[in-house]
Protein backbone atom coordinates (compact mmCIF):
# COMPACT_ATOMS: atom_id res chain seq x y z
CA UNK A 1 0.00 0.00 0.00
CA UNK A 2 1.21 3.51 -0.79
CA UNK A 3 2.27 5.61 2.18
CA UNK A 4 -0.28 8.21 3.17
CA UNK A 5 1.79 11.15 1.89
CA UNK A 6 2.37 9.39 -1.44
CA UNK A 7 -1.35 8.68 -1.59
CA UNK A 8 -2.16 12.32 -0.95
CA UNK A 9 0.18 13.38 -3.77
CA UNK A 10 -1.39 10.79 -6.08
CA UNK A 11 -4.89 11.98 -5.27
CA UNK A 12 -3.99 15.64 -5.75
CA UNK A 13 -2.47 14.88 -9.16
CA UNK A 14 -5.56 12.86 -10.08
CA UNK A 15 -7.92 15.64 -8.97
CA UNK A 16 -5.97 18.16 -11.03
CA UNK A 17 -6.20 15.86 -14.04
CA UNK A 18 -9.94 15.53 -13.58
CA UNK A 19 -10.35 19.32 -13.60
CA UNK A 20 -8.32 19.59 -16.79
CA UNK A 21 -10.27 16.73 -18.38
CA UNK A 22 -13.54 18.48 -17.52
CA UNK A 23 -12.21 21.58 -19.27
CA UNK A 24 -11.02 19.93 -22.48
CA UNK A 25 -14.19 17.85 -22.86
CA UNK A 26 -16.46 20.75 -21.90
CA UNK A 27 -17.91 21.48 -25.35
CA UNK A 28 -18.58 17.85 -26.13
CA UNK A 29 -20.15 17.26 -22.73
CA UNK A 30 -22.42 20.30 -23.18
CA UNK A 31 -23.77 18.64 -26.31
CA UNK A 32 -24.09 15.32 -24.51
CA UNK A 33 -26.01 16.91 -21.65
CA UNK A 34 -28.37 18.69 -24.04
CA UNK A 35 -28.99 15.42 -25.89
CA UNK A 36 -29.62 13.58 -22.63
CA UNK A 37 -32.28 16.07 -21.60
CA UNK A 38 -33.88 16.03 -25.03
CA UNK A 39 -34.05 12.25 -25.22
CA UNK A 40 -35.53 11.94 -21.75
CA UNK A 41 -38.61 13.79 -23.02
CA UNK A 42 -41.92 12.03 -23.59
CA UNK A 43 -45.58 12.88 -23.97
CA UNK A 44 -46.05 10.63 -20.93
CA UNK A 45 -45.40 13.05 -18.03
CA UNK A 46 -43.97 10.55 -15.61
CA UNK A 47 -41.14 9.57 -17.95
CA UNK A 48 -39.20 12.86 -18.06
CA UNK A 49 -40.04 13.63 -14.43
CA UNK A 50 -38.55 10.40 -13.16
CA UNK A 51 -35.69 10.32 -15.67
CA UNK A 52 -34.65 13.90 -15.00
CA UNK A 53 -34.85 13.44 -11.25
CA UNK A 54 -32.27 10.69 -11.53
CA UNK A 55 -30.15 12.17 -14.32
CA UNK A 56 -29.95 15.66 -12.86
CA UNK A 57 -28.84 14.32 -9.47
CA UNK A 58 -25.82 13.82 -11.58
CA UNK A 59 -22.60 12.39 -10.39
CA UNK A 60 -19.57 13.18 -12.49
CA UNK A 61 -20.78 11.61 -15.73
CA UNK A 62 -17.49 9.76 -15.88
CA UNK A 63 -18.73 7.20 -18.39
CA UNK A 64 -19.94 9.62 -21.09
CA UNK A 65 -16.90 11.81 -20.45
CA UNK A 66 -14.75 8.76 -21.14
CA UNK A 67 -16.50 8.35 -24.48
CA UNK A 68 -16.01 11.99 -25.45
CA UNK A 69 -12.38 12.01 -24.25
CA UNK A 70 -11.60 8.80 -26.15
CA UNK A 71 -12.97 10.31 -29.37
CA UNK A 72 -10.88 13.45 -28.85
CA UNK A 73 -7.79 11.34 -28.13
CA UNK A 74 -7.92 10.06 -31.70
CA UNK A 75 -8.39 13.49 -33.09
CA UNK A 76 -11.42 13.51 -35.27
CA UNK A 77 -14.72 13.38 -33.45
CA UNK A 78 -17.36 12.55 -36.07
CA UNK A 79 -20.23 13.61 -33.83
CA UNK A 80 -21.16 9.98 -33.27
CA UNK A 81 -19.42 10.14 -29.88
CA UNK A 82 -22.10 12.53 -28.64
CA UNK A 83 -24.78 9.94 -29.33
CA UNK A 84 -22.71 7.12 -27.88
CA UNK A 85 -21.93 9.13 -24.75
CA UNK A 86 -25.61 9.91 -24.14
CA UNK A 87 -26.48 6.27 -24.86
CA UNK A 88 -23.89 5.06 -22.36
CA UNK A 89 -25.28 7.41 -19.70
CA UNK A 90 -28.83 6.19 -20.42
CA UNK A 91 -27.72 2.57 -20.16
CA UNK A 92 -26.07 3.40 -16.84
CA UNK A 93 -29.14 5.17 -15.50
CA UNK A 94 -31.42 2.34 -16.64
CA UNK A 95 -29.22 -0.03 -14.67
CA UNK A 96 -29.39 2.21 -11.59
CA UNK A 97 -33.19 2.34 -11.74
CA UNK A 98 -33.44 -1.43 -11.97
CA UNK A 99 -30.72 -1.97 -9.35
CA UNK A 100 -32.51 0.18 -6.83
CA UNK A 101 -35.64 -1.92 -7.32
CA UNK A 102 -33.65 -5.15 -7.03
CA UNK A 103 -31.72 -3.97 -3.96
CA UNK A 104 -34.72 -2.22 -2.40
CA UNK A 105 -32.47 0.84 -1.94
CA UNK A 106 -33.91 3.91 -0.27
CA UNK A 107 -31.20 6.36 -1.35
CA UNK A 108 -29.35 7.13 -4.57
CA UNK A 109 -26.85 9.96 -5.07
CA UNK A 110 -27.76 11.40 -1.69
CA UNK A 111 -31.49 11.70 -2.39
CA UNK A 112 -34.43 9.35 -2.04
CA UNK A 113 -34.23 6.74 -4.82
CA UNK A 114 -36.72 7.32 -7.68
CA UNK A 115 -38.64 4.21 -6.60
CA UNK A 116 -39.36 5.85 -3.23
CA UNK A 117 -41.18 8.67 -5.06
CA UNK A 118 -42.67 7.08 -8.20
CA UNK A 119 -42.67 3.45 -7.11
CA UNK A 120 -40.93 0.28 -8.23
CA UNK A 121 -43.26 -0.12 -11.19
CA UNK A 122 -42.39 3.18 -12.80
CA UNK A 123 -38.69 2.65 -12.06
CA UNK A 124 -38.70 -0.64 -13.96
CA UNK A 125 -40.58 0.81 -16.93
CA UNK A 126 -38.68 4.10 -17.19
CA UNK A 127 -35.46 2.05 -17.06
CA UNK A 128 -36.77 0.13 -20.08
CA UNK A 129 -37.59 3.40 -21.81
CA UNK A 130 -34.06 4.74 -21.25
CA UNK A 131 -32.59 1.52 -22.63
CA UNK A 132 -34.78 1.79 -25.73
CA UNK A 133 -33.74 5.43 -26.23
CA UNK A 134 -30.09 4.44 -25.78
CA UNK A 135 -30.39 1.99 -28.67
CA UNK A 136 -32.23 4.53 -30.82
CA UNK A 137 -29.41 7.04 -30.33
CA UNK A 138 -26.84 4.40 -31.28
CA UNK A 139 -28.80 3.51 -34.40
CA UNK A 140 -28.93 7.18 -35.38
CA UNK A 141 -25.13 7.34 -35.14
CA UNK A 142 -25.14 4.71 -37.85
CA UNK A 143 -22.24 2.37 -36.98
CA UNK A 144 -23.43 -1.19 -36.49
CA UNK A 145 -20.10 -2.22 -34.97
CA UNK A 146 -20.51 0.26 -32.14
CA UNK A 147 -24.03 -1.09 -31.66
CA UNK A 148 -22.48 -4.53 -31.35
CA UNK A 149 -20.17 -3.34 -28.57
CA UNK A 150 -22.96 -1.67 -26.61
CA UNK A 151 -25.62 -4.37 -27.05
CA UNK A 152 -23.13 -6.99 -25.89
CA UNK A 153 -22.35 -4.78 -22.90
CA UNK A 154 -26.05 -4.51 -22.04
CA UNK A 155 -26.36 -8.29 -22.06
CA UNK A 156 -23.25 -8.89 -19.95
CA UNK A 157 -24.30 -6.24 -17.41
CA UNK A 158 -27.69 -7.91 -16.88
CA UNK A 159 -26.08 -11.34 -16.67
CA UNK A 160 -23.64 -10.02 -14.05
CA UNK A 161 -26.47 -8.54 -12.01
CA UNK A 162 -28.24 -11.91 -11.98
CA UNK A 163 -25.00 -13.58 -10.90
CA UNK A 164 -24.60 -11.05 -8.08
CA UNK A 165 -28.18 -11.71 -7.01
CA UNK A 166 -27.57 -15.46 -7.02
CA UNK A 167 -24.47 -14.96 -4.85
CA UNK A 168 -26.12 -12.61 -2.35
CA UNK A 169 -25.68 -13.79 1.24
CA UNK A 170 -23.56 -16.72 0.02
CA UNK A 171 -20.65 -17.01 2.46
CA UNK A 172 -18.85 -19.33 0.05
CA UNK A 173 -18.54 -16.61 -2.62
CA UNK A 174 -14.93 -16.53 -3.85
CA UNK A 175 -12.75 -13.62 -4.90
CA UNK A 176 -13.02 -15.05 -8.41
CA UNK A 177 -16.85 -14.91 -8.29
CA UNK A 178 -16.57 -11.31 -7.16
CA UNK A 179 -14.16 -10.58 -10.01
CA UNK A 180 -16.75 -11.91 -12.45
CA UNK A 181 -19.48 -9.75 -10.94
CA UNK A 182 -17.59 -6.47 -11.07
CA UNK A 183 -16.20 -7.25 -14.49
CA UNK A 184 -19.75 -7.70 -15.79
CA UNK A 185 -21.64 -5.05 -13.89
CA UNK A 186 -19.11 -2.20 -13.95
CA UNK A 187 -15.99 -2.80 -16.06
CA UNK A 188 -17.97 -3.83 -19.16
CA UNK A 189 -19.72 -0.47 -19.47
CA UNK A 190 -16.51 1.52 -18.80
CA UNK A 191 -14.78 -0.60 -21.46
CA UNK A 192 -17.62 -0.11 -23.95
CA UNK A 193 -17.80 3.64 -23.24
CA UNK A 194 -14.11 4.07 -24.00
CA UNK A 195 -14.13 1.69 -26.99
CA UNK A 196 -17.06 3.29 -28.84
CA UNK A 197 -15.52 6.70 -28.17
CA UNK A 198 -12.32 5.51 -29.82
CA UNK A 199 -14.36 4.18 -32.76
CA UNK A 200 -16.12 7.51 -33.19
CA UNK A 201 -12.72 9.22 -33.07
CA UNK A 202 -11.45 7.12 -35.96
CA UNK A 203 -9.12 4.82 -33.99
CA UNK A 204 -7.61 1.81 -35.74
CA UNK A 205 -8.05 -1.70 -34.30
CA UNK A 206 -5.08 -1.32 -31.95
CA UNK A 207 -6.29 2.03 -30.65
CA UNK A 208 -9.77 0.68 -30.13
CA UNK A 209 -8.38 -2.28 -28.18
CA UNK A 210 -6.13 -0.03 -26.08
CA UNK A 211 -9.11 2.09 -25.05
CA UNK A 212 -11.23 -0.99 -24.37
CA UNK A 213 -8.59 -2.35 -22.00
CA UNK A 214 -8.08 1.08 -20.42
CA UNK A 215 -11.82 1.39 -19.75
CA UNK A 216 -12.08 -2.12 -18.43
CA UNK A 217 -9.19 -1.72 -15.97
CA UNK A 218 -10.42 1.70 -14.91
CA UNK A 219 -13.88 0.23 -14.29
CA UNK A 220 -12.48 -2.58 -12.16
CA UNK A 221 -10.46 -0.09 -10.10
CA UNK A 222 -13.50 2.17 -9.79
CA UNK A 223 -15.72 -0.63 -8.47
CA UNK A 224 -13.12 -1.93 -6.03
CA UNK A 225 -12.75 1.58 -4.61
CA UNK A 226 -16.53 1.96 -4.47
CA UNK A 227 -16.78 -1.24 -2.49
CA UNK A 228 -14.15 0.03 -0.05
CA UNK A 229 -15.89 3.38 0.31
CA UNK A 230 -19.06 1.59 1.32
CA UNK A 231 -17.24 0.80 4.56
CA UNK A 232 -14.95 3.82 4.76
CA UNK A 233 -16.99 6.68 3.39
CA UNK A 234 -18.72 9.13 5.63
CA UNK A 235 -22.49 8.63 5.51
CA UNK A 236 -23.99 10.99 2.98
CA UNK A 237 -20.96 11.48 0.74
CA UNK A 238 -22.03 8.62 -1.51
CA UNK A 239 -25.69 9.11 -0.80
CA UNK A 240 -25.77 5.91 1.15
CA UNK A 241 -24.92 4.64 4.62
CA UNK A 242 -21.76 2.91 5.75
CA UNK A 243 -22.15 -0.83 5.36
CA UNK A 244 -25.18 -0.74 3.06
CA UNK A 245 -23.62 -3.40 0.83
CA UNK A 246 -23.32 -5.74 3.80
CA UNK A 247 -26.88 -5.02 4.89
CA UNK A 248 -28.01 -5.87 1.35
CA UNK A 249 -26.07 -9.14 1.49
CA UNK A 250 -23.59 -8.10 -1.21
CA UNK A 251 -20.48 -10.24 -1.20
CA UNK A 252 -17.84 -7.64 -2.10
CA UNK A 253 -14.10 -8.20 -1.90
CA UNK A 254 -13.59 -6.64 1.56
CA UNK A 255 -16.06 -9.17 3.00
CA UNK A 256 -14.65 -12.09 1.05
CA UNK A 257 -11.05 -11.36 2.08
CA UNK A 258 -12.04 -10.85 5.72
CA UNK A 259 -14.09 -14.07 5.84
CA UNK A 260 -11.16 -16.04 4.43
CA UNK A 261 -8.92 -14.96 7.33
CA UNK A 262 -11.48 -14.54 10.09
CA UNK A 263 -11.59 -16.71 13.22
CA UNK A 264 -14.92 -18.43 14.01
CA UNK A 265 -16.09 -15.64 16.34
CA UNK A 266 -15.33 -12.95 13.75
CA UNK A 267 -16.99 -15.01 11.04
CA UNK A 268 -20.14 -15.27 13.14
CA UNK A 269 -20.30 -11.50 13.59
CA UNK A 270 -19.99 -10.92 9.84
CA UNK A 271 -22.45 -13.70 8.98
CA UNK A 272 -25.02 -12.34 11.44
CA UNK A 273 -24.86 -8.86 9.89
CA UNK A 274 -24.93 -10.04 6.26
CA UNK A 275 -28.17 -9.30 4.47
CA UNK A 276 -29.81 -7.90 7.60
CA UNK A 277 -31.35 -4.55 6.89
CA UNK A 278 -31.62 -3.73 10.58
CA UNK A 279 -27.96 -4.31 11.49
CA UNK A 280 -27.19 -1.43 13.89
CA UNK A 281 -24.25 0.93 13.36
CA UNK A 282 -22.54 -0.48 16.45
CA UNK A 283 -22.38 -3.95 14.93
CA UNK A 284 -21.24 -2.42 11.65
CA UNK A 285 -18.36 -0.77 13.52
CA UNK A 286 -17.38 -4.21 14.83
CA UNK A 287 -17.43 -5.58 11.30
CA UNK A 288 -15.21 -2.75 10.05
CA UNK A 289 -12.83 -3.42 12.97
CA UNK A 290 -12.58 -7.04 11.81
CA UNK A 291 -11.92 -5.87 8.26
CA UNK A 292 -9.14 -3.61 9.53
CA UNK A 293 -7.64 -6.39 11.63
CA UNK A 294 -7.26 -8.47 8.45
CA UNK A 295 -6.42 -5.48 6.25
CA UNK A 296 -9.24 -6.44 3.90
CA UNK A 297 -10.03 -2.83 2.95
CA UNK A 298 -6.36 -1.98 2.36
CA UNK A 299 -5.84 -5.13 0.33
CA UNK A 300 -8.85 -4.26 -1.82
CA UNK A 301 -7.36 -0.82 -2.48
CA UNK A 302 -4.09 -2.49 -3.45
CA UNK A 303 -5.96 -4.52 -6.06
CA UNK A 304 -7.54 -1.32 -7.35
CA UNK A 305 -4.04 0.17 -7.61
CA UNK A 306 -2.92 -2.79 -9.69
CA UNK A 307 -5.82 -2.23 -12.12
CA UNK A 308 -4.94 1.46 -12.39
CA UNK A 309 -1.41 0.47 -13.40
CA UNK A 310 -2.83 -1.82 -16.10
CA UNK A 311 -5.12 0.96 -17.31
CA UNK A 312 -2.14 3.31 -17.64
CA UNK A 313 -0.07 0.63 -19.36
CA UNK A 314 -2.78 0.13 -21.97
CA UNK A 315 -2.52 3.81 -22.92
CA UNK A 316 1.25 3.63 -23.26
CA UNK A 317 0.89 1.68 -26.51
CA UNK A 318 -0.49 4.91 -28.04
CA UNK A 319 1.40 8.04 -29.16
CA UNK A 320 2.01 10.50 -26.33
CA UNK A 321 -0.40 13.45 -26.15
CA UNK A 322 -1.94 15.81 -23.64
CA UNK A 323 -5.18 13.76 -23.66
CA UNK A 324 -3.29 10.53 -23.12
CA UNK A 325 -1.63 12.04 -20.05
CA UNK A 326 -4.97 13.27 -18.70
CA UNK A 327 -6.65 9.90 -19.12
CA UNK A 328 -3.70 8.25 -17.46
CA UNK A 329 -3.75 10.65 -14.53
CA UNK A 330 -7.48 10.58 -13.82
CA UNK A 331 -7.20 6.88 -13.12
CA UNK A 332 -5.32 7.82 -9.95
CA UNK A 333 -8.06 10.14 -8.85
CA UNK A 334 -10.54 7.31 -8.58
CA UNK A 335 -8.27 5.18 -6.46
CA UNK A 336 -7.23 8.21 -4.47
CA UNK A 337 -10.81 8.46 -3.20
CA UNK A 338 -10.25 5.33 -1.13
CA UNK A 339 -7.44 6.66 1.05
CA distance 52 to 90: 11
Question: Nearer to its own copies by C-beta: 126 or 335?
Answer: 126
Question: Nearer to its own copies by C-beta: 158 or 313?
Answer: 158
* Distance in Å, CB of 250 to its own copies, minimum: 13
For residue 203, give the DSSP letter: -
* Distance in Å, CB of 203 to its own copies, minimum: 20
* Distance in Å, CB of 126 to its own copies, minimum: 6
Question: Nearer to its own copies by C-beta: 48 or 215?
Answer: 48
Question: Nearer to its own copies by C-beta: 141 or 203?
Answer: 141
Phi, psi of 95 (to 5 degrees): -65, -40
Tell me whether residue 4 is exposed, middle or buried, using C-beta atoms within 10 angstroms of its C-beta: 0 to 12, 13 to 18, 19 or more.
exposed
Tell me whether residue 282 is exposed, middle or buried, using C-beta atoms within 10 angstroms of its C-beta: 0 to 12, 13 to 18, 19 or more.
exposed
* Distance in Å, CB of 305 to its own copies, minimum: 29
Binding site for its own copies (CB under 8 A): 42-47, 94, 98, 101-102, 120-122, 124-126, 128-129, 131-133, 135-136, 138-140, 142, 144, 147-148, 151-152, 154-159, 161-163, 165-166
Q: What is the DSSP string of 141-162?
A: HT-HHHHHHHHHHHHHHHHHHH
* Distance in Å, CB of 86 to its own copies, minimum: 14
Would you call 108 helix, strand, or coil by DSSP?
A: strand
CA distance 321 to 318: 9
Question: Nearer to its own copies by C-beta: 12 or 175?
Answer: 175
* Distance in Å, CB of 195 to its own copies, minimum: 15
- For the chain, the maximum distance between any two Cα atoms, rounded to a whole number of angstroms, is 60
Question: Nearer to its own copies by C-beta: 45 or 172?
Answer: 45
Its sign, for the CA torsion 108, 114, 117, 123, is negative
Amino acid sequence: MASSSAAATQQAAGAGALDRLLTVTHDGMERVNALILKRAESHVDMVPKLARYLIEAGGKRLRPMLTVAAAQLFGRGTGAEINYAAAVEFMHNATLLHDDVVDESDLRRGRPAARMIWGNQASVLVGDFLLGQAFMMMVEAGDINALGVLSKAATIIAEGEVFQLAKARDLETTADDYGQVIHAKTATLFAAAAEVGAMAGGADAAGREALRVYGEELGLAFQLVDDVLDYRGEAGTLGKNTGDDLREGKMTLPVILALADANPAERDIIAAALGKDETPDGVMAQVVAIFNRHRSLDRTVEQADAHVRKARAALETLPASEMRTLLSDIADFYVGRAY
